[in-house]
Amino acid sequence: MKTLQKPFMNPSNKRNGTMGPPAIKFHHVCKTYAQSNEYAVNHVNLSIEEGEFITILGSSGSGKTTLLKMVNRLYEPSQGNIQVFGEDIAAIDPVMLRRKIGYVIQQVGLFPHMTIAKNIATVPRLLKWDKEKTEQRVSELLHLVGLDPRTYEHRYPSQLSGGQQQRIGLARALATNPAIMLLDEPFGALDAITRLHLQDELLKIHRGSNKTFLFVTHDINEAFKLGTRVIIMNQGKVCQFDTPKEIVKHPADEFVASLIQSSREQERFWEDLE
């Protein structure tokens, strides 16, 4: 195993006018599980550029979460390889890799016995940041996710709403300024109004950075709202990978067409109520 190399620590080459390697590259990636002969992920080849907001859309069991979790090595590919900024992740220590990739899930996973400030500072403390730098970063991140540091940094997770907890989960994932953010249905358990607000906040955060976001969802509206490009998966395969506009104009197969049709039927339902 080796630790992360400089290209991943400081990936952007845009300032000096040169293009670096893709942020994430999947090369003939497959995943099977011991209890099944079927592919959870079936020969995926994708290239994601630095700074993109990529959403992965599919129904339950389509392989979208499995694909996401292979990027930070929570799951290992059965075949193929994955690169981050030109580095084969199989050659990178998994713990070091995860400390440099932000990860947000639906079940936020905040430590209940720790204050909000300490929750956000989890990875900086593991990396032995000094106290002043850590406190400054916690304050910056609370402002970034729309929470007043003076009000929230000394509270505990049980004192927050679901939406506030998800904001803290996002802040924690951003703590060490990762180049890549992985988000696995982070808003899936939230009410519709909170979900819409957090989608807007997430877009603002992305636009203010050069980070690469990979976001899993089963909601076509969420996928098309957030994604600069959308990966549509079905039965472990990538059906289409394109901009929302191109997917709507030119669906690649019947499955993609049916997703679009279902969304349009919902729109007609609301129109009929007016």
Instruction: Find the mean pLDDT for residues 216-238.
Output: 96
Confidence of residue 189 (pLDDT cuts 50, 70, 90): confident
As given in the structure block, the two tokens for residue 189 are: 């358990």
Q: Which pLDDT tens digit goes with each residue over 251-274?
A: 999 999 999 998 888 877 777 777
pLDDT average, residue stretch 70-84: 97
Q: What are the residues facing 54 on neighbouring strands?
A: 214, 229
Residue type at 55 in one-letter notation: T
In the predicted model, is pLDDT for residue 74 greater than 90? Answer: yes
CA-based nearest residue to 23, from 54, 1, 44, 2:
54
Q: Which domains does the chain have, with CATH numbers?
A: 50-73+93-245 (3.40.50.300)
pLDDT band for position 5 (50/70/90)? Answer: very low
Average of per-residue pLDDT across 118-136 = 93
Please list, in sequence order, all residues whose beta carbon lies within 8 angstroms of the beta carbon of residue 176, skipping any fewer than 6 positions away.
99, 100, 123, 124, 127
User: Per residue in 89-108, is it b (16+ CB within 10 Å) or e — as a string?
Assistant: beebeeeebbbbbbbbbbeb
Contact 73, 4 (CB under 8 A): no
Nearest CA among 191, 252, 257 for reference residue 220: 257
What residues are paired with 212 via a beta bridge?
180
Q: What is the DSSP letter of 37?
A: S
Give the H or E element holding residue 48. Answer: strand 39-48
Rounded CA gap, 158 and 138, in Å? 19
How far is residue 114 from each of residues 107, 109, 154, 157, 235, measured CA to CA in Å? 17, 12, 9, 8, 40
